[in-house]
Amino acid sequence: MVVGGRKMRIPPLILLLLLLSASAAGMFTAQRDSGAFQAGLRLERALPTKGVRLDHLLARDRARHGRSLLGTSGVVDFPVEGSANPFTFGLYYTRVRLGNPARDYYVQIDTGSDVLWVTCSSCDGCPISSGLNIQLNFYEPDKSSTSTVLTCSDDRCTSALQTGEAVCPSGSSRHACSYSFQYGDGSGTAGYYVYDTIYFDTITGDQQSLNSSAQIVFGCSNSQSGDLTKSDKAVGGILGFGQNGLSVISQLSSAGVAPSVFSHCLSSSDSGGGILVLGEIVEPGIVYTPLVPSQPHYNINLESITVNGQALSIDSSVFTTTDTRGTIVDSGTTLAYLAEQAYGPFVNAIIASVSSSVRSISTSGGNECFVTSSSLDESFPSVTLNFKGSVSMSLKPENYLLQQGIDGDTIIWCIGFQNNKGSEITILGDLVLKDKIVVYDLANQRIGWRNYDCSQSVNVSTSSGRNQFLNTGQFNANGVSHMVCHKLLWTSIGFLFLFLFFL
């Protein structure tokens, strides 16, 4: 070092400490730049006090399945609240903050669609209040200083046109880039796309909370119809978690805010709850099967079904994925649906395998129902779904049975799997997925799962390989920077003692 034209000799001890300090600073800088920050949103669930009949659940699922699927690195945490009981009709929703100044919007979480849209102030036929005890705000793009309305000439609109996510009049490049989503029950929404800011609570490795944001494209709904107009279960929009480019998971991944993977674990306990994160849950025992490529849904290859260890006599072609058949994982579907050709063999095998303590009863709905004086595990057989890659998903009786009512002092249990009449599509909804970690790994095009107590904490990995620790209902990161600092401190002390010893 030269000071005032004279060379100064730095003592070895000072030089060593300077080198260690520079090393520590470099490690923290690398950690910060490679994504050791996590963004968090809070997920809640609406639970009206009245129960719901099976036909209402079926109608809800039919409406969901009629929807047309439009066509870094941090951990975004959605602490889940609510009950997993399918007869307590509820919606998974979260609060997102959009625009400048920022406002809150309650939007339904939906893995069956791709786009985030919120209700705009000019919306025709949209509810102004909700029976879910949430405030319905209306997005006003002209009052947000960071808002831009996408035009048909925008490259992002051109890309969305190719995937069917957008609509534009021919020869009108200055026209707003529009969309129109239709639902199987006749309800739907239409509007146009805007580009604005979404805000997150960012959690650093040492559990400090910072503000973070990203620019995303989302829909501004100015027209709604059907069930979307009803106030009893009204929300302020829908948050899509599909695979297309305009989905929130795709946009946040591209922006480096979140990895290209998300996971959930839905609890079946009376108190409900669970975990939903943008990140990969890495608990031991998770098995993976590949996603079927080039599909708009989360399709996986179901190969066979066994009941009490015996394979059902079902033609394997029933489960082959095409445009009109295959197996879909959909956490937004309440029940589970079997392709018509698979339903009969499945129900017959269950009936043939129940214990002598089980008594069949008839119901007005035509479902196969039972009462038993023994526990479910003692009364009903185990079921296993076998997938490509020699991996299986084990189902307990509560994963294929529904509590339908009471017969005297005993509970009436009905087969919860429904006959997807006239269809060769199998859908694995919440009935099957509850009490399981489910990982949607879009980067590696695979889905994984394992049975799990969803009231417990989980480990979550970002795409950079760092693990974070998540509690149910509470984001609690064991800070990477804290761990690095702790290890570096003791390493530095060790080097210092060695240096002094050899002086």
Q: List the catalytic residues.
A: 110, 330
**Residue 316, both tokens:** 């394997």
**Residue 149, both tokens:** 């309305």
Place of tokens 């859908």: 427
Does 101 sit behind a cis peptide bond, omega within 30 degrees of 0 on the bond before it?
A: yes
The half-sphere exposure of 397 on its side-chain side, counting CA atoms within 13 A, is 19
Handedness of CA 296, 297, 300, 301 (dihedral sign): negative
Contact 384, 396 (CB under 8 A): no
Contact 468, 481 (CB under 8 A): no
Output the CA–CA distances (angstroms, integers) from residue 187 to 66, 127, 226, 343, in the order listed: 10, 14, 4, 29
CA distance 277 to 213: 17
CA distance 305 to 302: 8
Residue 355, beta-bridge partner list: none
Residue by residue, DSSP assigns 305-351 as: EEETTEEP---GGGG--SSSEEEEE-TT-SSEEEEHHHHHHHHHHHH
What letter does residue 204 receive in the DSSP assignment? Answer: -
CA distance 341 to 43: 38
What letter does residue 125 receive in the DSSP assignment? Answer: S
Burial readout 275-304 (b: 16 or more C-beta within 10 A, e: otherwise): bbbbbbbbbeebebbbbbeebbbbbbbbbb
